[in-house]
Amino acid sequence: DAGVIQSPRHEVTEMGQEVTLRCKPISGHDYLFWYRQTMMRGLELLIYFNNNVPIDDSGMPEDRFSAKMPNASFSTLKIQPSEPRDSAVYFCASSFLVPYEQFFGPGTRLTVL
Amino acid sequence: KNEVEQSPQNLTAQEGEFITINCSYSVGISALHWLQQHPGGGIVSLFMLSSGKKKHGRLIATINIQEKHSSLHITASHPRDSAVYICAVIPSKEGGSEKLVFGKGTKLTVNP
């Protein structure tokens, strides 16, 4: 199994631009999580899905952030418009049945200038 | 106050030393995770436990539910153990969601 796949691995953009991060979970996993990691705040959960349905999006910072999971094998996290304070590493993780043993993707390092 | 507190924040050891990283939490939980993040950034789940003790190679994780405390021990430490170790809990699901709450991490450096 290829594990959780994220793309792009690095993204540099200018303030105001739209950014789309992509995630392919491990096949057969029914939970998908989006996390953000910064030096100041550490790892934070943004949103998670169960069977493609968003369960808890209370960690999404504001309306500029949105996430979708159109099918079991693909999810996107979109930031529009992006701001410098969104610069962070964004991780996607997936798990099977219960949201305990999570498998993390390699992360996307986002820099907003 | 963070729901999950780790100590120490930074730890430097010599190769071969026995290492302990601590995690305290303030809420009722259904499970606790220990994660490892290497300098390259990848995150790996080491243990998930809800009681007692688990062992994998040179790593041992213990949890005391009554005291709301967990420890991660590394025996015969090696430079390749250098990483950030993160404690995360899943609060008891009493109407709450099943999301991990993370500590800030402990950065371990093992010198040869």
pLDDT given for residue A101 in this prediction: 80
Instruction: Give the confidence band of A1 by pLDDT, cuts at 50, 70, 90.
Output: low
Please state the rounded mean pLDDT for residues A55-62: 89
Residue B94 pLDDT: 62
**pLDDT reported for residue A2:** 80
Residue A63: alpha-carbon gap to chain centroid: 15
Q: Which tops the pLDDT comparison, A1 or A68? A: A68
CB pairs under 8 A between A and B: 51
Q: In B, which residues are within 8 Å of A45 by CB distance?
A: 99-100
Q: Does B43 touch chain A (CB under 8 A)?
A: yes
Comparing CB atoms, the residue among B43, B88, B105 nearest residue A91 is: B43
pLDDT number for residue A99: 58
User: What is the average per-residue pLDDT within B52-79?
Assistant: 96
Contact B99 A89 (CB under 8 A): no
Instruction: For residue A43, give the nearest of B48, B86, B98 by CB distance.
Output: B86
Q: Does residue A24 surpass a pLDDT of 70?
A: yes
**Shortest Cα–Cα distance, B8 to chain A (Å):** 15
Q: What is the mean pLDDT of chain A?
A: 93
Contacting residues of B for A55, CB less than 8 Å apart = 97-98
B36-45 pLDDT, tens digit each: 999 877 899 9
pLDDT exceeds 60 at position B1: no
User: Mean pLDDT throughout B65-79?
Assistant: 96
Contact B100 A42 (CB under 8 A): no
Quick one: which H or E segment has residue A38? strand A31-38
Amino acid B69 reads: H
- Is it the case that residue B21 has pLDDT exceeding 90? yes
Q: Cα angle vertex B49, ends B101, A92, to 5°?
A: 45
Segment A100-111 mean pLDDT: 92
pLDDT at residue B95, rounded to an integer: 47
Q: Which whole number is the average pLDDT over A77-103?
A: 90
Helices and strands, counts by H and E, chain B: 0, 11
Residue A62 has pLDDT above 90, yes or no: no
Chain A residues within 8 angstroms (CB to CB) of chain B: 33, 42-45, 48, 55-56, 58-59, 89, 91, 93, 98-104, 106-107, 109
Among B31, B42, B104, select the one facing A106 at the smallest CB separation. Answer: B42
Q: Which amino acid is at A73?
A: S
* Beta-strand pair A74-79/A19-24: antiparallel
Predicted pLDDT of residue B39: 83
The closest of A27, A37, A75, A106 to B44, measured between CA atoms, is: A106
CA distances from B50 to A5, A65, A102, B27, B40 (A): 29, 33, 15, 13, 29
- pLDDT above 70 covers what percent of chain A? 96
Helix ranges (H only) for A9-79 are none
